Amino acid sequence: MAANADKLPGISIEVEDLVRVRGMEYEESRAYVPGDDVRTMDWRVMARTGEAHSKIFAEEKERRFLLAIDLSASMYFGTRYAFKSWAAAQAAAHIGWLASFAGDRIGGLVVAPDFHNEVRPGKKRSGLLGVFHHLAAASRIALPPENGASRLNFLLRELHRVVKPGSIIALLSDFIGLDDTSLEILSTLARHNDLSAFWIHDKTEIGAWPQGYYPILMSGQRRGFDLTESGQGDLLLQWQRQHCNQIEALATRFAIPLIPVSCNHDISPQILHNLNLT
């Protein structure tokens, strides 16, 4: 990650792992043979059987690449530089163009608090531009609905409905609202597709807050919490640790590349660094 970005746990990946070489689609796994490319190792089968396996790919003209972008109410938040929703849009643009340069057919899902849109993978970058159109529309939302409910599971259900096996999926979310239902759907998606998770976050979700009183607006009412009281600070720290642990466990459990993206810094250096393009 960029030098000025928050230090986060994550799995650094090569750009070839995110944007598979054009003309290759996963077909099956077989026992590892000396000389196999390490990038084709099937870590899930290896973890299950205890023996090294490699993925076998079949030729096809183009790969399907889906950008799945979670713009739940919690994404319209940021303490420095930008909202998480803006960071997600910027990250999606970088990832989408990389996929486009590789010749993939790009589509996606954009789920916001009060609407959702699906863009089917299209040729000549029409799908990518369609995703950008819906991201721009989402940025014009003044305020998310007061119930503040996470739309993550709705996004995952829609993704499961439209995705075809062998697709590449870039999932962008703050993963607030992650639960057992989320894990069940993600398990299926990761089993049949190349799934990468981009964790969009604000530094207040991973680091200590300065002591003080913080006024907040909740359901139209002004409230607040006082971090000069040890109990309040302990509750916040407990939530932070639990949330980070959930995301790390998700990546480990399903062998999903995890790429942290901070909304408090410029997005380009973070994406380039984490994809080893710098």
What single DSSP character describes residue 144? -
Taking only the tens place, the pLDDT of each residue in 179-188 is 999 999 999 9
242: buried, middle or exposed (CB in 10 Å: 19+, 13-18, 0-12)? exposed
Residues β-bridged to residue 214? 225
Taking only the tens place, the pLDDT of each residue in 12-69 is 444 445 544 444 566 678 888 887 877 788 888 888 888 888 887 755 556 899 999 9
Per-residue pLDDT tens, the chain, 278 aa: give them: 344 445 444 444 444 455 444 445 666 788 888 878 777 888 888 888 888 888 877 555 568 999 999 999 889 888 889 999 999 999 999 999 999 888 889 999 999 888 899 999 887 788 999 999 999 888 765 555 555 568 999 999 999 999 998 899 999 999 999 999 999 999 999 999 999 999 999 998 988 787 888 776 665 677 777 777 767 777 888 888 999 999 999 999 999 999 999 999 999 999 888 876 65
The CATH number of 15-23+60-203+246-270 is: 3.40.50.410
Determine the pLDDT at residue 5: 46
CA angle centred on 68, ends 21 and 14, rounded to 5°: 35
Alpha carbon 3 to its chain centroid, in Å, reads 21
Report whether 207 contacts 6 (CB < 8 A): yes
Q: What is the pTM of this model?
A: 0.75
